[in-house]
Amino acid sequence: MNFLNYLSDVFYNDLNLRSDKLSGLITSADMNHYSIVSEKYRDIEVIAITTAGARVNAVSAGDEASYYEINAEYSYDCDDNSDINKDPNKPGTINNIILINTKLDESSLLLAEMIAVEAKAVALRDLMVSSNYSNEIATGTGTDGIAIFSNMDSVDFTDNVSKHAKIGELIAKAVIKSVKESLGSLQWLTPSYQMNALVRLDRYQNTLDDFYENYLPEHIKMEDEDDKREFILSLIKTSKNPELVANVSLILHLLDQYRAGLLSKKTVLKVSDSIMENQLDNEEFHSMKLLLGYVIKTQLD
């Protein structure tokens, strides 16, 4: 943090600004891939400016923490954190700046910020961005930032800021579009990139690693590394098949509902088996069926 303090001091001094009156956003994302989106209705205009990176630091709210901090003292030995959660220094941040042309008081600004944060989560949900720290869909990254401004010199004011109000709709639409545009520009996180069964399975990375390293060699007859390579190539070859992607997504959604307590293990297993037997009963999907079967087994055990 000393470097950040030094950087801030230099920045403020060079611009002759008061550091106690300012706040800032920091990111390692390439600033050339920012996105600016404007949404307007009658007298209200909202502009969202976003830089976004979520390839290696995407996280879902509630994922296990990477560290514990109190009184500016840090401990990286949290009780239950897994190996994947022990590195808090992964690059990847979504920063949003929201500009509103009408005057908002402090409570309304807070409500506007809440809507913007929810909208960011919607953008990641739409793209099915995987958390890098759990089996969940990401709701953001571990280092996101946000700044929101209203025009205090405007003769117009907006008193009611909610998702029922038009201003709430404008904020959400601007943020959703700008987050998607920035992710697509910087990291090719687009609908076409996500149309891939292996990409959809990214959030089960620990399970996939175990499958490749332990289960595959032990349970499938393979003479050498060439056989393993052929198996993986067969996965890649079919991974963009739209029907396969759709059925893999259905099974993963069943597992999501099982983790959330919305469906029983028996139901998920029965429906997953039906999908595997009836929708993936094709020799070209054999490798994916083996992988999916392993994911289902490990998640339901």
Domain stops at, among 136, 156, 188:
188
Residue 17 pLDDT class (50, 70, 90 cuts): confident
Lowest-confidence segment of 65-74, 115-124, 236-245 by average pLDDT = 65-74
Nearest CA to 115 among 66, 43, 179, 164?
164
Are 156 and 23 contacting, i.e. CB atoms less than 8 angstroms apart? no
Q: Angle at Cα 246 formed by Cα 244 and Cα 249, nearest 5°?
A: 105
Assess whether 176 and 224 both reside in one domain: no
Does residue 1 surpass a pLDDT of 50? Answer: no
Assess whether 182 and 202 both reside in one domain: no
Assess whether 142 and 272 both reside in one domain: no
Does residue 9 surpass a pLDDT of 80? Answer: no
Which secondary structure element, helix H or strand E, spans residue 106, and what is its range? helix 106-126
Mean pLDDT of the chain: 90
Does residue 81 surpass a pLDDT of 70? Answer: no
* Amino acid identity, position 227: D
Are 123 and 175 contacting, i.e. CB atoms less than 8 angstroms apart? yes
Burial of residue 222 (CB within 10 Å: 0-12, 13-18, 19+) is middle
Which secondary structure element, helix H or strand E, spans residue 216, and what is its range? helix 216-219
Lowest-confidence segment of 23-32, 47-56, 219-228 by average pLDDT = 219-228
Query: In whole angstroms, what is the distance from residue 211 CA to residue 48 CA?
Result: 42
Assess whether 43 and 163 both reside in one domain: yes
Q: In angstroms, what CA-CA distances link 208 with 163, 201, 266, 294, 301? A: 39, 8, 23, 9, 16
Does residue 219 surpass a pLDDT of 80? Answer: no
Are 184 and 190 contacting, i.e. CB atoms less than 8 angstroms apart? yes
Strands 145-150 and 35-41, by their bridges, are unpaired
Assess whether 86 and 105 both reside in one domain: yes
Q: For the residues 80-102, what does the mean pLDDT come to?
A: 78
Domain stops at, among 156, 188, 220:
188
Assess whether 204 and 254 both reside in one domain: yes
Assess whether 149 and 228 both reside in one domain: no
Nearest CA to 136 among 274, 253, 7?
253
Assess whether 22 and 166 both reside in one domain: yes
pLDDT of amino acid 49: 98
Are 206 and 84 contacting, i.e. CB atoms less than 8 angstroms apart? yes
How much is the pTM?
0.89
Q: For the residues 126-138, what does the mean pLDDT come to?
A: 95
Contacts of 80 (CB under 8 A, 6+ apart): 64
Q: For the residues 62-88, what does the mean pLDDT come to?
A: 78
Query: In whole angstroms, what is the distance from residue 99 CA to residue 146 CA?
Result: 11
Assess whether 167 and 71 both reside in one domain: yes
Assess whether 152 and 264 both reside in one domain: no
Are 131 and 197 contacting, i.e. CB atoms less than 8 angstroms apart? no
Residue 105 pLDDT class (50, 70, 90 cuts): very high
* Residue 199 structure tokens: 């990409």
Q: For the residues 248-259, what does the mean pLDDT come to?
A: 97
Assess whether 19 and 118 both reside in one domain: yes
Residue 90 pLDDT class (50, 70, 90 cuts): confident
Strands 58-59 and 73-75, by their bridges, are unpaired
pLDDT in tens, 159-188: 999 999 999 999 999 999 999 999 999 888
What range defines the domain where residue 163 resides? 2-188
pLDDT of amino acid 12: 72
pLDDT of amino acid 158: 97
Max distance between CA atoms of the chain, in angstroms, equals: 77
Q: Angle at Cα 265 formed by Cα 218 and Cα 270, nearest 5°?
A: 80
Decide: helix, strand or coil at residue 54: coil
Assess whether 166 and 72 both reside in one domain: yes
Domain stops at, among 170, 188, 206:
188
Residue 275 pLDDT class (50, 70, 90 cuts): very high
**Domain count across the chain:** 2
Considering only CA atoms, give the Rg of the chain: 23
Query: In whole angstroms, what is the distance from residue 264 CA to residue 282 CA?
Result: 28
Q: For the residues 201-230, what does the mean pLDDT come to?
A: 79
